Amino acid sequence: MTELLRTPLFDVYKEHGGKTIDFGGWELPVQFSSIKEEHEAVRTKAGLFDVSHMGEFTLKGKGAEAFLQSILTNDVSKLKVGKAQYNIMCYPNGGSVDDLIIYKQGEDDFFICVNASNIEKDFAWMREHKPANLKLVNISDSIGQVALQGPLAVNTLQKITDVNLAEVSFFGFTNGKVAEVPSVIARTGYTGEDGFEIYAPADEIVKVWNAILEAGAEFGVLPCGLGARDTLRFEACLPLYGQELSADISPVEAGMGFAVKTDVEADFIGKAVLKEYKENGAPRKVVGVEMIDRGIPRHGYPVYINDELIGEVTTGTQVPTSKRNIGLALLKAEHTAVGTQVEIEIRGKRLKAEVVATPFYKREKK
Protein backbone atom coordinates (compact mmCIF):
# COMPACT_ATOMS: atom_id res chain seq x y z
CA MET A 1 0.00 0.00 0.00
CA THR A 2 1.30 3.43 -0.86
CA GLU A 3 1.54 5.95 1.92
CA LEU A 4 -1.36 8.39 2.14
CA LEU A 5 -0.71 12.04 1.43
CA ARG A 6 -1.26 14.56 4.21
CA THR A 7 -2.00 18.26 4.17
CA PRO A 8 -0.04 20.75 6.33
CA LEU A 9 -3.03 20.75 8.70
CA PHE A 10 -2.82 17.02 9.45
CA ASP A 11 -1.45 17.51 12.96
CA VAL A 12 -4.30 19.77 14.07
CA TYR A 13 -7.05 17.24 13.22
CA LYS A 14 -6.32 15.30 16.40
CA GLU A 15 -6.71 18.38 18.60
CA HIS A 16 -10.33 18.59 17.45
CA GLY A 17 -11.08 14.87 17.47
CA GLY A 18 -10.87 14.49 13.71
CA LYS A 19 -11.43 11.00 12.33
CA THR A 20 -9.45 10.45 9.15
CA ILE A 21 -10.12 8.29 6.11
CA ASP A 22 -8.44 7.55 2.79
CA PHE A 23 -9.92 10.05 0.39
CA GLY A 24 -8.48 9.40 -3.05
CA GLY A 25 -5.02 8.81 -1.63
CA TRP A 26 -5.21 11.60 0.96
CA GLU A 27 -5.56 11.05 4.68
CA LEU A 28 -8.28 13.60 5.43
CA PRO A 29 -10.80 14.10 8.24
CA VAL A 30 -14.24 12.70 7.44
CA GLN A 31 -15.65 14.33 10.58
CA PHE A 32 -14.69 16.08 13.81
CA SER A 33 -17.81 16.14 16.02
CA SER A 34 -20.44 14.54 13.77
CA ILE A 35 -21.51 15.00 10.16
CA LYS A 36 -24.94 16.13 11.32
CA GLU A 37 -23.64 18.75 13.77
CA GLU A 38 -21.13 20.03 11.25
CA HIS A 39 -23.73 20.18 8.48
CA GLU A 40 -26.07 22.16 10.73
CA ALA A 41 -23.28 24.47 11.88
CA VAL A 42 -22.57 25.47 8.28
CA ARG A 43 -26.26 26.06 7.52
CA THR A 44 -26.89 28.16 10.64
CA LYS A 45 -23.51 29.52 11.83
CA ALA A 46 -20.30 28.58 10.03
CA GLY A 47 -17.84 25.75 9.58
CA LEU A 48 -14.15 25.53 8.72
CA PHE A 49 -12.80 22.93 6.29
CA ASP A 50 -9.25 21.93 5.42
CA VAL A 51 -9.20 21.76 1.62
CA SER A 52 -5.43 21.98 1.24
CA HIS A 53 -5.49 18.82 -0.85
CA MET A 54 -6.99 20.80 -3.73
CA GLY A 55 -4.59 21.60 -6.57
CA GLU A 56 -3.41 25.06 -7.60
CA PHE A 57 -1.69 26.16 -10.80
CA THR A 58 -0.51 29.53 -12.01
CA LEU A 59 -0.71 30.43 -15.68
CA LYS A 60 1.02 33.51 -17.01
CA GLY A 61 2.06 34.97 -20.35
CA LYS A 62 0.70 36.74 -23.38
CA GLY A 63 -2.28 34.83 -24.73
CA ALA A 64 -3.10 33.08 -21.44
CA GLU A 65 -6.73 34.16 -21.70
CA ALA A 66 -7.06 32.92 -25.29
CA PHE A 67 -5.49 29.62 -24.28
CA LEU A 68 -7.94 29.14 -21.39
CA GLN A 69 -10.82 29.93 -23.73
CA SER A 70 -9.59 27.17 -26.05
CA ILE A 71 -9.86 24.49 -23.33
CA LEU A 72 -12.66 25.74 -21.05
CA THR A 73 -16.43 25.92 -21.48
CA ASN A 74 -17.32 29.26 -19.88
CA ASP A 75 -16.89 32.69 -21.50
CA VAL A 76 -13.45 33.61 -20.16
CA SER A 77 -13.56 37.03 -21.87
CA LYS A 78 -16.31 38.08 -19.43
CA LEU A 79 -13.98 37.59 -16.47
CA LYS A 80 -12.62 40.78 -14.92
CA VAL A 81 -9.45 41.14 -12.86
CA GLY A 82 -10.30 40.30 -9.24
CA LYS A 83 -13.04 37.88 -10.20
CA ALA A 84 -13.27 34.10 -10.25
CA GLN A 85 -15.19 31.90 -12.66
CA TYR A 86 -16.45 28.31 -12.56
CA ASN A 87 -15.43 26.26 -15.58
CA ILE A 88 -15.38 22.77 -16.97
CA MET A 89 -12.48 21.46 -19.02
CA CYS A 90 -13.74 18.95 -21.59
CA TYR A 91 -12.59 16.21 -23.92
CA PRO A 92 -13.50 16.46 -27.63
CA ASN A 93 -16.49 14.13 -26.99
CA GLY A 94 -17.88 16.50 -24.35
CA GLY A 95 -16.86 14.35 -21.37
CA SER A 96 -15.24 16.24 -18.49
CA VAL A 97 -11.51 16.33 -17.75
CA ASP A 98 -12.30 18.28 -14.57
CA ASP A 99 -14.30 21.15 -13.16
CA LEU A 100 -12.23 24.03 -11.83
CA ILE A 101 -12.20 27.68 -10.82
CA ILE A 102 -10.05 30.26 -12.53
CA TYR A 103 -9.06 33.48 -10.77
CA LYS A 104 -8.01 36.42 -12.92
CA GLN A 105 -5.18 38.15 -11.07
CA GLY A 106 -4.17 40.40 -13.95
CA GLU A 107 -4.28 40.52 -17.73
CA ASP A 108 -2.94 37.15 -18.87
CA ASP A 109 -2.25 36.20 -15.25
CA PHE A 110 -4.41 33.44 -13.79
CA PHE A 111 -4.59 31.29 -10.68
CA ILE A 112 -6.41 27.98 -11.18
CA CYS A 113 -7.89 25.68 -8.54
CA VAL A 114 -8.50 22.06 -9.57
CA ASN A 115 -9.69 18.86 -7.89
CA ALA A 116 -7.08 16.99 -5.84
CA SER A 117 -7.63 13.70 -7.63
CA ASN A 118 -7.10 15.36 -11.01
CA ILE A 119 -4.00 17.48 -10.38
CA GLU A 120 -1.62 15.45 -12.52
CA LYS A 121 -4.15 14.71 -15.25
CA ASP A 122 -5.18 18.38 -15.52
CA PHE A 123 -1.62 19.62 -15.51
CA ALA A 124 -0.66 17.19 -18.29
CA TRP A 125 -3.76 18.13 -20.31
CA MET A 126 -3.06 21.85 -20.05
CA ARG A 127 0.63 21.46 -20.80
CA GLU A 128 -0.13 19.37 -23.85
CA HIS A 129 -2.47 22.00 -25.28
CA LYS A 130 -0.80 25.24 -24.28
CA PRO A 131 1.35 27.45 -26.49
CA ALA A 132 5.04 27.25 -25.60
CA ASN A 133 5.34 30.84 -24.38
CA LEU A 134 2.88 30.42 -21.52
CA LYS A 135 4.25 29.57 -18.12
CA LEU A 136 2.14 26.96 -16.31
CA VAL A 137 3.32 26.00 -12.82
CA ASN A 138 1.85 23.45 -10.41
CA ILE A 139 2.12 25.16 -7.00
CA SER A 140 -0.17 22.71 -5.19
CA ASP A 141 2.44 21.61 -2.66
CA SER A 142 3.28 25.12 -1.54
CA ILE A 143 -0.32 26.31 -1.07
CA GLY A 144 -2.64 25.52 1.82
CA GLN A 145 -6.37 26.17 1.54
CA VAL A 146 -9.19 26.42 4.05
CA ALA A 147 -12.88 27.06 3.42
CA LEU A 148 -14.90 29.04 5.94
CA GLN A 149 -18.56 28.58 5.05
CA GLY A 150 -21.85 29.68 6.54
CA PRO A 151 -23.90 32.77 7.34
CA LEU A 152 -21.47 33.87 10.07
CA ALA A 153 -18.32 33.30 7.99
CA VAL A 154 -18.12 37.01 7.18
CA ASN A 155 -18.41 38.06 10.84
CA THR A 156 -15.70 35.59 11.82
CA LEU A 157 -13.21 36.41 9.10
CA GLN A 158 -13.67 40.18 9.41
CA LYS A 159 -12.19 40.03 12.93
CA ILE A 160 -8.82 38.79 11.67
CA THR A 161 -8.32 40.36 8.24
CA ASP A 162 -7.28 43.77 6.98
CA VAL A 163 -9.60 43.40 3.97
CA ASN A 164 -13.05 45.00 4.05
CA LEU A 165 -15.05 41.89 3.26
CA ALA A 166 -18.14 43.89 2.34
CA GLU A 167 -16.22 44.87 -0.78
CA VAL A 168 -15.57 41.27 -1.81
CA SER A 169 -18.63 40.18 -3.81
CA PHE A 170 -19.74 36.63 -4.65
CA PHE A 171 -17.06 35.05 -6.85
CA GLY A 172 -14.80 38.03 -6.18
CA PHE A 173 -11.38 37.70 -4.56
CA THR A 174 -8.62 39.87 -3.21
CA ASN A 175 -5.13 39.64 -1.80
CA GLY A 176 -4.98 40.42 1.89
CA LYS A 177 -3.84 39.25 5.27
CA VAL A 178 -5.59 36.73 7.48
CA ALA A 179 -4.06 36.55 10.94
CA GLU A 180 -1.07 38.45 9.48
CA VAL A 181 -0.55 35.70 6.87
CA PRO A 182 -0.53 36.91 3.24
CA SER A 183 -3.51 35.19 1.61
CA VAL A 184 -5.85 35.14 -1.32
CA ILE A 185 -9.38 35.58 0.03
CA ALA A 186 -12.12 34.44 -2.36
CA ARG A 187 -15.87 34.64 -1.76
CA THR A 188 -16.46 31.18 -3.16
CA GLY A 189 -17.37 27.80 -1.74
CA TYR A 190 -18.84 24.37 -2.14
CA THR A 191 -21.66 24.29 0.39
CA GLY A 192 -24.47 26.47 -0.95
CA GLU A 193 -23.77 29.07 1.76
CA ASP A 194 -22.05 32.42 1.81
CA GLY A 195 -18.41 32.04 2.72
CA PHE A 196 -14.77 32.24 1.80
CA GLU A 197 -11.99 30.09 0.47
CA ILE A 198 -8.61 31.24 1.72
CA TYR A 199 -5.35 30.32 0.03
CA ALA A 200 -2.14 30.84 2.03
CA PRO A 201 1.41 29.48 2.07
CA ALA A 202 1.38 25.83 3.14
CA ASP A 203 3.76 26.50 6.02
CA GLU A 204 1.48 29.20 7.47
CA ILE A 205 -1.96 27.64 6.94
CA VAL A 206 -2.03 26.24 10.50
CA LYS A 207 -1.86 29.81 11.79
CA VAL A 208 -4.82 30.76 9.59
CA TRP A 209 -6.82 27.72 10.71
CA ASN A 210 -6.23 28.38 14.41
CA ALA A 211 -7.00 32.09 14.12
CA ILE A 212 -10.30 31.41 12.35
CA LEU A 213 -11.44 28.90 14.97
CA GLU A 214 -10.47 31.29 17.76
CA ALA A 215 -12.26 34.22 16.12
CA GLY A 216 -15.27 32.03 15.36
CA ALA A 217 -15.64 30.53 18.83
CA GLU A 218 -18.14 33.23 19.87
CA PHE A 219 -20.24 32.47 16.77
CA GLY A 220 -20.20 28.69 17.17
CA VAL A 221 -17.89 27.99 14.24
CA LEU A 222 -16.96 24.30 14.10
CA PRO A 223 -14.13 22.46 12.35
CA CYS A 224 -15.78 20.32 9.67
CA GLY A 225 -14.77 17.23 7.73
CA LEU A 226 -15.31 15.91 4.25
CA GLY A 227 -18.46 14.08 5.31
CA ALA A 228 -20.33 17.33 5.91
CA ARG A 229 -18.66 18.92 2.90
CA ASP A 230 -20.22 16.17 0.80
CA THR A 231 -23.73 16.38 2.29
CA LEU A 232 -23.67 20.19 2.00
CA ARG A 233 -22.55 20.30 -1.62
CA PHE A 234 -24.95 17.48 -2.45
CA GLU A 235 -27.91 19.28 -0.87
CA ALA A 236 -27.03 22.38 -2.90
CA CYS A 237 -26.66 20.10 -5.98
CA LEU A 238 -23.08 21.11 -6.72
CA PRO A 239 -21.40 18.37 -8.76
CA LEU A 240 -18.53 16.21 -7.50
CA TYR A 241 -16.01 15.07 -10.07
CA GLY A 242 -16.11 11.28 -10.30
CA GLN A 243 -19.83 11.24 -9.49
CA GLU A 244 -21.92 13.85 -11.34
CA LEU A 245 -19.05 14.77 -13.70
CA SER A 246 -16.53 12.41 -15.26
CA ALA A 247 -14.74 11.57 -18.48
CA ASP A 248 -18.03 9.92 -19.42
CA ILE A 249 -20.36 12.71 -18.25
CA SER A 250 -20.48 16.11 -19.95
CA PRO A 251 -21.24 19.31 -18.04
CA VAL A 252 -24.53 19.75 -19.91
CA GLU A 253 -25.71 16.33 -18.74
CA ALA A 254 -24.57 17.18 -15.21
CA GLY A 255 -26.81 20.26 -15.19
CA MET A 256 -23.88 22.67 -15.43
CA GLY A 257 -25.04 24.13 -18.75
CA PHE A 258 -24.93 27.63 -17.23
CA ALA A 259 -21.12 27.35 -17.34
CA VAL A 260 -21.07 26.17 -20.96
CA LYS A 261 -21.16 29.14 -23.34
CA THR A 262 -21.31 27.76 -26.85
CA ASP A 263 -21.84 31.21 -28.38
CA VAL A 264 -18.21 32.23 -27.75
CA GLU A 265 -16.13 32.65 -30.88
CA ALA A 266 -13.39 30.22 -29.86
CA ASP A 267 -13.76 26.61 -30.87
CA PHE A 268 -12.98 25.24 -27.42
CA ILE A 269 -12.42 21.53 -26.96
CA GLY A 270 -15.76 19.72 -26.79
CA LYS A 271 -17.74 22.68 -28.13
CA ALA A 272 -19.39 20.89 -31.08
CA VAL A 273 -20.87 18.14 -28.91
CA LEU A 274 -21.85 20.50 -26.08
CA LYS A 275 -23.54 22.88 -28.54
CA GLU A 276 -25.55 19.99 -29.94
CA TYR A 277 -26.55 18.94 -26.40
CA LYS A 278 -27.56 22.48 -25.43
CA GLU A 279 -29.60 23.05 -28.57
CA ASN A 280 -31.23 19.66 -29.04
CA GLY A 281 -30.97 18.12 -25.60
CA ALA A 282 -28.46 15.64 -24.21
CA PRO A 283 -29.24 11.92 -24.15
CA ARG A 284 -28.95 11.82 -20.34
CA LYS A 285 -29.51 14.26 -17.51
CA VAL A 286 -28.63 14.43 -13.81
CA VAL A 287 -31.84 14.87 -11.80
CA GLY A 288 -32.96 14.63 -8.20
CA VAL A 289 -34.58 11.44 -6.92
CA GLU A 290 -36.33 10.80 -3.62
CA MET A 291 -37.17 7.44 -2.08
CA ILE A 292 -40.84 6.58 -1.60
CA ASP A 293 -40.07 3.17 -0.05
CA ARG A 294 -37.73 2.86 2.95
CA GLY A 295 -34.13 3.01 1.83
CA ILE A 296 -31.21 5.30 1.10
CA PRO A 297 -29.96 5.73 -2.48
CA ARG A 298 -26.18 5.51 -2.90
CA HIS A 299 -23.59 6.13 -5.60
CA GLY A 300 -23.73 3.42 -8.28
CA TYR A 301 -27.18 2.00 -7.49
CA PRO A 302 -29.04 1.17 -10.75
CA VAL A 303 -32.32 2.92 -11.61
CA TYR A 304 -35.14 1.21 -13.50
CA ILE A 305 -38.53 1.87 -14.98
CA ASN A 306 -40.35 -1.46 -15.23
CA ASP A 307 -37.48 -3.65 -16.35
CA GLU A 308 -35.60 -1.06 -18.34
CA LEU A 309 -32.31 0.13 -16.86
CA ILE A 310 -32.49 3.93 -17.27
CA GLY A 311 -29.40 5.06 -15.37
CA GLU A 312 -27.75 5.11 -11.97
CA VAL A 313 -27.46 7.11 -8.78
CA THR A 314 -24.42 9.42 -8.80
CA THR A 315 -24.69 10.59 -5.16
CA GLY A 316 -27.18 9.70 -2.46
CA THR A 317 -27.60 9.94 1.27
CA GLN A 318 -30.01 10.79 4.03
CA VAL A 319 -29.62 14.54 4.35
CA PRO A 320 -28.76 15.45 7.95
CA THR A 321 -31.21 18.33 8.49
CA SER A 322 -34.28 17.36 6.48
CA LYS A 323 -33.80 13.57 6.90
CA ARG A 324 -34.90 13.11 3.30
CA ASN A 325 -33.56 9.99 1.57
CA ILE A 326 -32.52 11.60 -1.67
CA GLY A 327 -30.05 11.29 -4.48
CA LEU A 328 -28.80 12.68 -7.73
CA ALA A 329 -29.09 10.25 -10.63
CA LEU A 330 -27.93 10.28 -14.23
CA LEU A 331 -30.94 9.07 -16.20
CA LYS A 332 -32.01 8.75 -19.81
CA ALA A 333 -33.42 12.15 -20.71
CA GLU A 334 -36.90 10.84 -21.59
CA HIS A 335 -37.42 9.76 -17.96
CA THR A 336 -36.38 12.95 -16.18
CA ALA A 337 -39.65 14.87 -15.73
CA VAL A 338 -40.39 15.74 -12.10
CA GLY A 339 -42.87 13.20 -10.74
CA THR A 340 -41.64 10.30 -12.89
CA GLN A 341 -41.92 7.08 -10.87
CA VAL A 342 -38.75 4.99 -10.93
CA GLU A 343 -37.27 2.06 -9.03
CA ILE A 344 -33.84 2.08 -7.41
CA GLU A 345 -32.15 -1.24 -6.78
CA ILE A 346 -30.81 -1.39 -3.23
CA ARG A 347 -28.99 -4.59 -2.28
CA GLY A 348 -30.97 -6.69 -4.74
CA LYS A 349 -34.37 -5.13 -4.04
CA ARG A 350 -36.13 -2.70 -6.36
CA LEU A 351 -37.58 0.10 -4.25
CA LYS A 352 -39.94 2.90 -5.32
CA ALA A 353 -38.61 6.40 -5.82
CA GLU A 354 -39.53 9.44 -7.86
CA VAL A 355 -37.88 12.24 -9.78
CA VAL A 356 -38.00 15.46 -7.73
CA ALA A 357 -37.03 19.10 -8.21
CA THR A 358 -33.51 20.35 -7.50
CA PRO A 359 -31.66 21.91 -5.80
CA PHE A 360 -32.59 20.25 -2.51
CA TYR A 361 -31.39 23.31 -0.64
CA LYS A 362 -31.27 26.96 -1.59
CA ARG A 363 -30.04 29.67 0.74
CA GLU A 364 -32.51 32.45 1.43
CA LYS A 365 -31.24 35.68 -0.03
CA LYS A 366 -31.11 38.48 2.50
Binding flag, residue 292, other proteins (CB under 8 A): no
Using CB under 8 A, which of the segments 71-79, 241-249, 290-298, 330-338 binds other proteins?
A: 290-298
Q: How many residues bind other proteins (CB under 8 A)?
A: 19
Binding flag, residue 55, other proteins (CB under 8 A): no
Minimum CB distance to other proteins, residue 232 (Å): 11
Q: What secondary structure, in 3-state letters, does the chain show?
A: CCCCECCCCHHHHHHHCCEEEEECCEEEEEECCCHHHHHHHHHHCCEEEECCCCEEEEEECCCHHHHHHHHECCCHHHCCCCEEEEEEEECCCCCEEEEEEEEEEECCEEEEEECHHHHHHHHHHHHHHCCCCCEEEECHHHEEEEEEECCCHHHHHHCCECCCHHHCCCCEEEEEEECCEEEEEECCCCCCCCEEEEEEEHHHHHHHHHHHHHHHHHHCCEEECHHHHHHHHHHCCCCCECCCEECCECCCCCCCHHHCCCCCCCCCCCHHHHHHHHHHCCCEEEEEEEECCCCCCCCCCEEEECCEEEEEEEEEEECCCCCCEEEEEEEEHHHCCCCCEEEEEECCEEEEEEEECCCCCCCCCC
* Phi, then psi, of 237 in degrees rounded to 5: 60, 40
Binding flag, residue 31, other proteins (CB under 8 A): yes
Minimum CB distance to other proteins, residue 65 (Å): 40
Toward other proteins, which CB reaches closer, 298 or 350? 298
Binding flag, residue 30, other proteins (CB under 8 A): yes
Toward other proteins, which CB reaches closer, 34 or 70? 34
Q: Which of 6, 34, 70, 259 binds other proteins (CB under 8 A)?
A: 34
Toward other proteins, which CB reaches closer, 227 or 311? 227
Minimum CB distance to other proteins, residue 227 (Å): 5
Binding flag, residue 298, other proteins (CB under 8 A): yes
Minimum CB distance to other proteins, residue 270 (Å): 33
Q: Which of 16, 36, 278, 332 binds other proteins (CB under 8 A)?
A: 36
Compute the distance between CA of residue 113 and CA of residue 117 in angstroms, rounded to an integer.
Answer: 12
Q: Calculate the alpha carbon distances from 222 to 31, 33, 263 in Å.
A: 11, 8, 43
Site string for other proteins, 300-329 (x = CB under 8 A): -----------------xx-x--x-x----
Toward other proteins, which CB reaches closer, 252 or 303? 303
Toward other proteins, which CB reaches closer, 207 or 350? 350
Residues 332-351 that bind other proteins (CB under 8 A): 347
Using CB under 8 A, which of the segments 9-17, 147-155, 292-300, 352-360 binds other proteins?
A: 292-300
Residues 219-238 that bind other proteins (CB under 8 A): 227, 230-231
Residue whose C-alpha is closest to residue 149's, from 104, 186, 117: 186
Minimum CB distance to other proteins, residue 145 (Å): 22
Minimum CB distance to other proteins, residue 288 (Å): 18
Toward other proteins, which CB reaches closer, 4 or 136? 4
Toward other proteins, which CB reaches closer, 323 or 366? 323
Q: Which residues are at the interface with other proteins (CB under 8 A)? A: 19, 30-31, 34-36, 227, 230-231, 294-296, 298, 317-318, 320, 323, 325, 347
